[in-house]
Chains A and B, each alone.
Chain A
Amino acid sequence: MSGAENTRALADPTPDQAVPHRARRFATLSDRAIAWLFIAPTMFLLLAINIFPLVWAIRLSFTGFMANLPNPARFVGIDNYVDILTDEDIWQHFQVTAHFVFWTIALQVLIGFGLALLINQKFRGHSFWTTLILLPMMLSPAVVGNFWTLLFQPQIGPFNYFIGFFAGLAPSSFTMIGSVDLAPWTIVIVNTWMWTPYVMLICLAGLRSIPEYIYEAAEVDRASAWRQFWTITLPMVLPFLMLAVLFQAIQSFEMFDMVNLLTSGGPGSTTELVSITLKRAAFEKWQTGYASALAVILFVTIFGAANIYVKVLNKVKQQ
């Protein structure tokens, strides 16, 4: 940009000019020096606390190291990776994770987009109710997830009464957390409750970005409301919706806090997400090398999927 070049010329120190006294020492700093001075600390921190551990994890993933033992790391090649990828249990945990990610995102998109459409009708007080709806997503998933264990209690918790009342079931006739069939849905319910507002907020931004004149033109052409929705509203909100899905997919794929406190993977391993398996391997069984390999696989999966997704998203945006 030429603007930066111009200002750099202007900022060059000219000692004869009346540069305010205190700044003289810094006045000799060129823009380039300032830029690096401003960027370096952040980069250093990220390298030290994000990249260095990641590189170390990659290195550890080729060893049989156990962090609770003094033995030095023994190089085992790709054994850890082979173990993980041929382990049926791990595949089962990936399936549990996939079930969780798929359903929670499907529900968030359906409810979130629906709510955004409703709020966009701009009834009186809509911004007040929008703010209230947003509250759950700002709260700590761990602290709130922990409390849901009480809400889900079959006899003393209100959840079963609420559902039982509307479904005509006896409140103590089913258990949510304790049951193999329903437990996977408890984590879907809590996560959806928490993050639907997120999807809603982004969809609302998408809806508000659609210029009014497009609808006016459609109205002139006598396009039905249904047709307007499919040809105008949906395509124009789609990039926003896809962005929301991207953020939420990453987040639920990495989900740990809420599930760790709500079900901690049980009953059996019906809600054991990969992140829970990873925590157990790393901090309970102390299989550091093995856990590192799993971490690398998780990271590569997220990063790879996100990259492909962003490419698709950019294509949608261009249309």
Chain B
Amino acid sequence: MSDAHAPRPFSEPSPLVRWLAAMLVVTYAIVSLLPLAWIGATAFKSQSDAIAYPPKVFFTPTLEGFVDLFTVQTHQPHDFITKLSPPSTWYEKLARDRDMVIAGPSRVIERFLNSLIIGFGSTILATLLGTLTAYAFSRFKVPLADDLMFFILSTRMMPPIAVAVPIYMMYRYLGLYDTRIGMILLYTAVNVSLAVWLLKGFIDEIPREYEEAALIDGYTRLQAFRKVVLPQAVTGIAATAIFCLIFSWNEYAFDLLLSNAQAQTMPPFIPFIIGEGGQDWPAVAAGTTLFLVPIVIFTIALRKHLLRGITFGAVRK
């Protein structure tokens, strides 16, 4: 708002206050990141280290968790293992050391692909629809514009669980249940409200004069939109797209209820990575780590736009 022309700060906090504030903030940051650090560490633990009593902070790192994540293994008697021809790969060796034989790849790759396809598919669609709609609301006199914008926002307020029942029935009827295209459409519908609100804010900030000049130069409305507005809105569109992608990537409830063997994404899959005799925590942690890393990178890339994204563009600075 008015911080654009703030003069030199009037009441600088004293060095002691600053130092104290820094200490408290750093302490909070470190404590709040401990759970994430624990996930990352568990990914590199052996099964026994992961569930050691008391919990182990120092351990010998191993890739067992990742091998478990990507393969299906069967337990075999030790005699049987020793009779087999020697393992040809490092991951086979890792499994054999624990009397396991790799039977084949696990389903995690399919799930990861589903997450990617559904995530990117819905992001592209939602951003495309959102850009067009936001432009129309930003530049044209649309009757009942405020009501329509509010309607778009209110669709986001619906509890996913509440609409899941009829969507489930509708999808069953239309053959969209447990299909990637069904999930893409659903996530697009959820994301488009965010996309419209964010992009309207971004497009509102582009001065109209540029387009008006282009129109005078003989551009049509659509040409002006494509050649003048879109290039100016590119940062906003990218930020919006990343927000949509993060939502689709993280979504759990709809995918849990509306998909099964075909269209399942990572979030409903990860908790059910079961090893011999219970949850295989290193494998779960390995899957979780691989799943979270892209989001961490995106969050850092997005940090300037985060505020806007999480408030539907209501708070901008």
Q: A interface vs B, CB < 8 Å?
A: 1, 3-7, 10-11, 13, 17-20, 23, 26-27, 29, 31-32, 34-39, 41-43, 45-46, 48-54, 56-57, 60, 67, 111, 115, 118-119, 121-127, 129-144, 146-148, 150-151, 153, 155-158, 161-162, 171, 193, 196-198, 201-202, 205, 208-209, 211-213, 215-216, 219, 240, 243, 247, 250, 253-254, 256-257, 260-261, 275, 278-279, 282-283, 288, 291-292, 295-296, 298-299, 302-303, 306
Contacts and interface: CB of A to CB of B under 8 A. Distances in A.
A36 to B, nearest CB: 8
Given A131-B299, A135-B299, A156-B55, A60 B38 contact: no
A211 B166 contact: no
B167 A298 contact: no
Contacts of A256: 159-161, 252-253
A156 B215 contact: no
Contact of A121 (B13, B135, B292): B13
A208 B139 CA distance: 30
B257 A201 contact: no
A1 B296 contact: no
Contact of A257 (B35, B157, B168, B252): B252
B268 to A, nearest CB: 7
Interface residues of B, number: 114
A203 B220 CA distance: 44
A158 B25 contact: no
B193 A46 contact: yes
Interface in B274-317: 279, 281, 284-285, 288, 291-292, 295-296, 298-300, 303, 306-307, 310-311, 314-315, 317
A142 B152 contact: no
B220 A19 contact: yes
Contact of B215 (A10, A155, A201): A10
B140 A123 contact: no
Interface string B237-272: 000000000100111110011000000001110110
Contacts of A124: 22
User: Nearest 8 A-B pairs (CB), nearest first?
Assistant: A295-B162, A142-B252, A140-B250, A53-B166, A49-B189, A38-B136, A123-B22, A38-B132
Given A26-B222, A198-B310, 18 more contacts: A3-B212, A20-B220, A39-B133, A41-B133, A42-B192, A49-B186, A123-B19, A123-B21, A132-B29, A136-B32, A143-B270, A201-B306, A215-B11, A247-B310, A247-B311, A256-B159, A278-B162, A298-B159
A193 B35 contact: yes
Interface of B: 1-3, 6-7, 9-11, 13, 17-19, 21-22, 24-26, 28-29, 32-36, 38-39, 42, 50-55, 129-130, 132-133, 135-137, 139-142, 148, 151-152, 154-155, 157-170, 185-186, 188-189, 192-193, 196, 208, 211-212, 215-216, 218-223, 246, 249-253, 256-257, 266-268, 270-271, 279, 281, 284-285, 288, 291-292, 295-296, 298-300, 303, 306-307, 310-311, 314-315, 317
Given A39-B136, A50-B158, A278-B162, A133 B212 contact: no
Contacts of B159: 253-254, 256, 275, 278, 295, 298-299, 302
A125 B270 CA distance: 35
Contacts of A142: 250, 252-253, 267-268, 270-271
Contacts of A306: 157
B166 A56 contact: yes
